[in-house]
């Protein structure tokens, strides 16, 4: 992968201002952690997406889609191959009656804001989620009783080896922090969201209340990737971690948040090694003391 010839061939039709060699990824993730990727490319058209992914698939070049990087931890050594991000053409949001059609790169908070502006209810829960629509569907993001599966009715997907396909809600297999995209490696391009007519003032009041709860309970003042662990059956990860005496526990510059034990925060200069060591220690101690085995919710990229 040290030979740059593969990069030059891949970039033959990519505009010069939309790619970077050996780009550090820390500034592209909410954790503010991550080494360089061999090549970072911004994709702006469907044809470009299909061509670039097909090239990588055909030549065996590893590739990743980063989105807004809010639910990932990138290894300190970085990533070999290509990291793709969608450009502004994939961030469009349009209103179609009681539905919204939004591109994968559209921030979830902006999608929720657009819904409120048109007096459409159903996305209040998403107004404070920092990720993109694509990541939200990929993980079936949710909070405060709402999930993407409640509103997504169809999605356009680019499936490597197949092409562009449309999946309905059932075919997307949206479950707790999972979707069919995690099984197939498909890339969400845009989604259709079915909402309910409502009163704008009421919708905005609900959004304001939920965002106030987030600020009060979550360590938004520090870089993090949100909730680190999935909710185990019959319990809550944060409560188990706190009960195990790990609230505030740290390794290096990574710390279990004193504000919310379900979060691991970057105190400044934390490495992926710090975070991974802390995750493992939390898992082991919680298992020893409670019998629950916590499963990470965040995606870990680059680790062998």
The pLDDT tens digits for 23-70 are 999 999 999 999 999 999 999 999 999 999 999 999 999 999 998 999
Which H or E run contains 274?
helix 272-290
Known active-site residue 297: yes
Instruction: Provide the pLDDT confidence category of residue 8 given band limits of 50, 70 and 90.
Output: confident
Classify domain 91-202 at the CATH topology level. 3.30.465
CATH 3.30.465.10 residue window(s) in the chain: 91-202
The active-site residue out of 42, 48, 147, 297 is 297
Q: Tell me which of 3.30.43.10, 3.40.190.10, 2.30.40.10, 3.40.50.720 is the CATH number of domain 5-88.
A: 3.30.43.10
CATH 3.90.78.10 residue window(s) in the chain: 219-301
Mean pLDDT along residues 284-303: 94
- Return the bridge partners of 191, or none: 102, 155
Among the listed residues 71, 100, 106, the one whose alpha carbon sits nearest the alpha carbon of residue 88 = 106
Distance of CA 149 to CAs 52, 142, 174, 228, 299, Å?
Answer: 30, 9, 6, 21, 20
Average pLDDT of the chain is 95
Domain 219-301 top-level CATH class: alpha beta
The active-site residue out of 156, 227, 231, 257 is 227
The active-site residue out of 68, 85, 177, 231 is 177
Among the listed residues 99, 14, 67, 40, the one whose alpha carbon sits nearest the alpha carbon of residue 299 = 67
Residue 221 · residue 290 · CB < 8 Å: no
* Residue 292: partners with Cβ closer than 8 Å, 6 or more residues away: 232, 235, 240, 286
Known active-site residue 127: no
pLDDT of residue 150: 97
Residue 230 · residue 237 · CB < 8 Å: yes
pLDDT of residue 126: 96
Tokens 């510059």 correspond to 253
Residue 303 has pLDDT above 80, yes or no: no
pLDDT digit string, tens, across residues 149-192: 999 999 999 999 999 999 999 999 999 999 999 999 999 999 99
pLDDT digit string, tens, across residues 117-134: 999 999 999 999 999 999
Instruction: Kindly give the pairing relationship between strand 152-159 and strand 187-194.
Output: antiparallel
Residue 4 has pLDDT above 80, yes or no: no
Known active-site residue 177: yes
């Amino acid at each position: 992968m040290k030979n740059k010839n593969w990069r030059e061939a891949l970039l033959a039709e990519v505009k010069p201002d939309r790619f970077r060699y050996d780009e550090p990824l820390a500034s592209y993730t909410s954790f503010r952690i991550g080494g360089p990727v061999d090549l970072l490319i911004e994709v702006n058209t469907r044809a470009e997406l299909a061509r670039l992914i097909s090239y990588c698939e055909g030549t065996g070049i590893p590739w990743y889609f980063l989105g807004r990087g809010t639910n990932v931890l990138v290894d300190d050594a970085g990533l070999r191959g290509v990291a793709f991000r969608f450009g502004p053409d994939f961030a469009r949001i349009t209103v179609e009656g009681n539905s919204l059609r939004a591109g994968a790169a559209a921030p979830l908070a902006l999608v929720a804001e657009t819904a409120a502006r048109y007096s459409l209810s159903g996305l209040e829960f998403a107004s404070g989620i920092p990720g993109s629509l694509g990541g939200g569907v990929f993980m079936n993001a949710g909070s405060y009783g709402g999930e993407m599966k409640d509103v997504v009715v169809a999605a356009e997907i680019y499936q490597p080896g197949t092409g562009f396909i449309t999946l309905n809600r059932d075919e997307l297999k949206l479950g707790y922090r999972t979707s069919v995209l995690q099984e197939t490696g498909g890339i969400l391009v845009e989604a259709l969201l079915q909402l309910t007519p409502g009163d704008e003032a009421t919708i905005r009041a609900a959004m304001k209340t939920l965002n106030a709860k987030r600020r009060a309970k979550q360590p938004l003042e520090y870089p993090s990737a949100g909730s680190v662990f999935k909710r185990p059956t019959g319990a809550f990860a944060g409560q188990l971690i706190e009960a195990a005496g790990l609230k505030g526990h740290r390794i290096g510059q990574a710390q279990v948040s004193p504000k919310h034990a379900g979060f691991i925060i970057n105190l400044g200069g934390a490495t992926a090694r710090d975070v991974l060591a802390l995750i493992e220690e939390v898992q082991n101690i919680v298992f020893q003391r409670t019998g629950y085995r916590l499963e990470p919710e965040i995606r870990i990229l680059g680790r062998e």
